Amino acid sequence: MFVPFRTRIEEIIQVRHRALRPYGKDLPRFNILLVLILLYSILNTVALAASDQPRILALGDSLTAGYGLSQADSFPAQLTRKLQDTKVSATIVNAGVSGDTTSGALQRLDWLMDGPYDLAIVELGANDALRAVDPALTQKNLDQIVTKLKALGIPVLLAGMKAPRNLGPEYAHQFDQIFPDLAQKHSVHFYPFFLDGISAKPAFNQADGMHPNADGVAIIAERMVPFVIKALGKEPQ
């Protein structure tokens, strides 16, 4: 249970007053011990408070990493602030790597597991489509990623992606279908399209037309908040 610093300090002061007389000439050593106890108590309180915050892994590519943006404007940072607006505090680890494919993310997934996570947001596939990777391979990689996360007991929020339409209707259909199919197969939380609301809208994208600007990321984060809250099992305030 979280105990405020002031309450903890008052408790220790009361103990000090009760214990002063028996120590007599050993007061300096007692005061040193008191300081150590106080520091331990504060650190323990901070650790307990931090443990109450959900820890989220944001696994993705440049769209997660924040390509062309300051870290303060990246998706994990903006999502953190949007969650705070609903009184949900969370620690979001930015595991986005610009240019990453589903193959690359699968290869680095194991060493990302540096501790327990309460949720993994998986945003991958855009670079596979840009490279016209066989949708079967993309699906296989994502399937393994979700399987590994679930095996670790980590809930998954899978973000969908859409293929560029210049690759043809057959490729687009096969690629787009990967995400709802995997969400259904694994019974995981699903956000249908990561770029929903900003795709092909110049006002919300950088000059390359592919990466969202800070305003675009804000829209993405805002729209994903209820999905994240639901995946965490929290209630918005």
**Annotated catalytic residue: which of 52, 61, 62, 70?**
62
Question: Please, what is the Cα angle at 86 between 83 and 91, to 5 degrees?
Answer: 30
**CA–CA dist 111, 48 (Å, integer):** 26
**In this structure, are residues 101 and 128 in contact, taking their beta carbons and an 8 Å threshold?**
yes
**CA–CA dist 60, 75 (Å, integer):** 10
**Residue 211 annotated in active site:** yes
**Annotated catalytic residue: which of 73, 85, 208, 215?**
208
**Annotated catalytic residue: which of 61, 110, 211, 215?**
211
**Residue 17 annotated in active site:** no
Residues annotated as catalytic are 62, 208, 211
